[in-house]
Amino acid sequence: MVFARGAANAAATGGTTRPRHVAIIMDGNGRWATERSWPRLVGHRRGAERVKQIVRACPDLGVDWLTVYAFSTENWKRSAEEVLGLMKIFRRYIEREAEGMSAEGVRMRFIGGRERLDRKLQDLMASIEARTAGNTRLNLTVAINYGGRDELVRASTRLAQKIAEGQIVKPTEADLADCMDTAGHPDPDLVIRTSGETRTSNFLPWQAAYAEYEFTPTLWPDFTPAHLATILDRYGLRERRFGGA
Ligand code: IPE
Ligand code: IPE
Ligand code: MG
């Protein structure tokens, strides 16, 4: 658990510094449902409703970029019923939210390997990315079949290809960043994990190298825009030094 530090910085900024890019590990859907003796998928459905609310709240909270971890490369280990149920929730979310996101100025993108996802979902992902490409109010990135190590392997393969083709001679950090799924996205300033777990579970290891972290015991289906606002206020009290003195 990381608590606010850097009162001097807070005084300098009036405690109003906002993270431009917030990334969320949305954890605790299963426990939320199990606590109520409901199937885990009920928790996932409720979790998807929360995503909608949080997405809507972000622009007014000064957040320009929101990245959410929806399904990890490790989550395939779950039962077929849960995995298929989650895939259905993702399809429905995209289908039902397409209109609203366009109207609200949300640009939706996905990170993670797509080839393992079913064709219908891949098509929906590509179509909403194209449809919302001109939107600028909020950049929403959804990580599906995402794993940081998997992304690094895919990115290194691309980088090796560019080197072999002579496009790059001596690779830099920027060259590798350009090969990641997040090419062109700013790094997250703040990573939030719900449900009380204090680990990163293979989420954005490259991009979050200098992010601030917040861990909250709240289960994702209970996480409201008010919880987010409180965490953002605390972020404003932090002093980010990036290795400087
Ligand atoms: C997060 O909730 C959603 C996904 C990982 C898809 P969990 O399903 O991990 O919920 P818990 O951790 O079992 O409570
Ligand atoms: C991380 O949650 C992945 C997502 C939120 C999509 P998990 O519940 O899968 O993580 P672990 O297994 O507890 O680390
Ligand atoms: Mg979990």
Quote the ligand 2 centre to 78 CA distance (angstroms).
11
Residue 8 has pLDDT above 50, yes or no: no
Q: Taking the domain 21-147+187-235, which CATH number applies?
A: 3.40.1180.10
pLDDT at 5: 37
Residue 75: active-site member: yes
Specify burial of residue 120 (Cβ count, 10 A radius: 0-12, 13-18, 19+).
Answer: exposed
Question: Which two three-digit tokens encode residue 214?
Answer: 């917040």
Residue 12 has pLDDT above 70, yes or no: no
* H-run or E-run covering 72: strand 65-72
pLDDT at 158: 98
Distance in Å from the first CA to the final CA of the chain: 24
pLDDT at 15: 52
pLDDT per residue as tens digits for the range 67-121: 999 999 999 999 999 999 999 999 999 999 988 998 999 999 999 999 999 999 9
Percent of the chain having pLDDT more than 90?
91
Q: Which of 9, 64, 75, 187 is catalytic?
A: 75
Residue 27: active-site member: yes
Residue nearest to atom 3 of ligand 1 (CA): 27
Ligand 2 site, residue 86, Cβ cutoff 6 A? no
Q: Which atom of ligand 2 lies closest to the CA of 201?
A: 14
Ligand 2 site, residue 33, Cβ cutoff 6 A? no
